[in-house]
Amino acid sequence: MTVPSDSPSSGAVGATTSARPPRAASPVSLRLAMVVFLGGAVGTGLRYLLSALPQAGAVHVGTLAANLAACLAYAALTSYLSQASWIPRRRKEPISRGMGMGLCGGLSTMSTLALEEFDALHAGDLLGGAGYCLVTFAGGLLAAWAGVRLGLVLSRRREMAALAVEERETAR
């Protein structure tokens, strides 16, 4: 489509230029937003349930469990989906957004961890606060590593099962 242009950069009054609609930075899909919202509601509910776990010194067990579980689950999901050629791409995005961004994002909590760390420091428990921080971050890295391994193992098993079915059908 061309439209007349009277801008100085067009060269002449009445010259035509290609009219292009302005590009949106990143359109947000209402469907995906709802998937993230629902996953986040479940993750936040789980985090709330875990908050009832008793504290062990400076370590808030519920927060630690939530953060480690989210690291493990998100890494497992990501590595599984990266290898899951049998899942159509259009289905991977809602799974990733709902389970990863939504559920794992709602389950994990950096802000609560920061508040708990400040509480420990304010109470004068520098060693306990530092230990809790170290356990959380080192544990998160280990949980993510384990999650990647788990996702790869699960995707490999699924792939092998599919190949076995295919071989049986071919043998008939």
Q: Is 124 annotated as a binding residue?
A: no
Q: Is 108 annotated as a binding residue?
A: yes
Nearest Cα residue to 73 out of 48, 102, 45: 102
Determine which helix (DSSP H) or strand (DSSP E) holds 75, and give its type and residue range: helix 61-83
The Cα 37–Cα 26 span in angstroms is: 18
The candidate with the shortest Cα–Cα distance to 115, out of 51, 72, 53, is 51
**Pair 8, 1: CB distance under 8 Å:** no
Q: State the Cα–Cα distance between residues 130 and 102, nearest whole angstrom.
A: 29
Phi, psi of 56 (to 5 degrees): -120, 90
Q: Would you say 72 and 150 are in contact if contact means Cβ atoms under 8 Å apart?
A: yes
Distance CA 146, CA 137 (A): 14
Residues in the annotated binding site for Na(+): 105, 108
Residues in the annotated binding site: 105, 108
